[in-house]
Amino acid sequence: MYATQALPHLVPLAEELDKNKVTPGVLGFIVFAALAVGVWLLMKSMNRHMGKVDFEEAPEAPGTAQASGASRSPGSAKRK
C-alpha cells in the first residue's frame, strides 16, 4: 500500500483525537529549545578545545627505524 492510498484512511482517525491533548505545548517547545541550546554550547566548547590541540608526530629514534625496517616485507614502503 502506498502512502497516498493510506492517507484517506487516516483522516477520520485524526478527527477523532482530542486536539487539546495531542499538542506538545509550551513545555515541549521549552524542552526542545533547551536541547538545541545545549547542543550549540557543546559544539562551541568542542571547537574551542580542538583549536588548542597541537599535535606533531614524534620522529622515530634511529635505532628503532633500522630494526623495524628489517622485519618489513619486501614490497612495503616506509611511512614519512
* pLDDT band at residue 57 using 50, 70 and 90 as cut-offs: confident
**Do 64 and 55 contact (CB within 8 A), yes or no?**
no
**Do 69 and 78 contact (CB within 8 A), yes or no?**
yes
Given the C-alpha cell 505545548, which residue does it identify?
25
Nearest-angstrom CA–CA distance, 52 and 46: 10
| pTM exceeding the 0.75 threshold for the entire prediction | no
* pLDDT band at residue 38 using 50, 70 and 90 as cut-offs: very high
- C-alpha cell of residue 5: 492510498
